[in-house]
Amino acid sequence: MQPQALSRTPIRPPVAPVTLRRAPLLPRRLPLARGASMADMLRFQALMAGEGQTVQVARMCYDRPYAFDCIASAHTSASDPLRRLALHLFRAYEQDADPRHLHD
């Protein structure tokens, strides 16, 4: 008897079925502070760019600690309009504080 020739085709493991789920919807309202408008945020971004600092407006809308870091950095600026806007944004974020953000 001759040994059987081994097949050179690799054996593939079974593939698990893929379940497609719908991605969660984004909130309808941006979680901006109520006292701050998108115009305020874009002006803040432009003033910070004038100081050589990059600000991601979308991230400021969703990442509260990032927003406060940017605001704190702006508050130390030599630019009076930037400092005033930073104070306005800080007050707007504080006024709209949500207890869920206290432990972020």
pLDDT in tens, 51-94: 999 999 999 988 889 999 999 999 999 999 999 999 999 999 88
Say which amino acid occupies 89.
L
**Higher-scoring residue by pLDDT: 35, 1:** 35
Least confident of 7-11, 53-57, 77-81, 99-103: 99-103
Using DSSP's 3-state secondary structure scheme, residue 66 falls into helix
Give the Cα separation of 29 and 62 in Å (integer).
11
Q: What pLDDT is recorded for position 104?
A: 46
C-alpha of 2 from chain center: 67
Is residue 104 a contact partner of residue 31, using CB atoms and an 8 Å limit?
no
Give the Cα separation of 73 and 75 in Å (integer).
5
Is residue 70 a contact partner of residue 48, using CB atoms and an 8 Å limit?
yes
Question: Could you give the percent of the chain with pLDDT greater than 70?
Answer: 67
Q: What pLDDT is recorded for position 86?
A: 97
C-alpha of 78 from chain center: 27
